[in-house]
Amino acid sequence: MATLGLVTVPAQGVWLFLLAWTIFTFYMWIGSFGTNKALTLTFTLLLLAFILLTIGAAGNHAAHTWGGYVGIATALVAWYTSAAGVINTVYGRVVCPVGPCKK
């Protein structure tokens, strides 16, 4: 709605929105420890990206830039993780290893 000009989002409130996603990602990251290493790495990078983007939205330009770089790395790992889930399920064997975590 903001892109349509229907609402205005004040710049000083963006860090709070990102903080909420950081908190959500934190407990998803904890939960990922019981799955596999690829998913844990995905959530580790995502958590780091949200932390950096939150700091960046609060005014630190360098953190904002690095948050973008980490976000790109997160996307690459997430693509591999999701592809591995589909491919391994379809073929019924490990084609793309994801490194099972010890329980």
DSSP labels, 42-87 = HHHHHHHHHHHHHHHHTT-HHHHHHHHHHHHHHHHHHHHHHHHHHH
Which residues on neighbouring strands pair with residue 100, listed in sequence order? Answer: 36
Q: Can you give the pLDDT at residue 49? A: 99
Check whether 12 has a pLDDT greater than 90. no
**Comparing 82 with 14, which gets the higher pLDDT?**
82
CA–CA separation, 98 vs 4, rounded Å?
41
SS3 40: helix
Look at phi and psi of residue 5 and say left if phi exceeds 0, alpha if psi is from -120 to 50, else beta. left
Check whether 11 has a pLDDT greater than 90. no
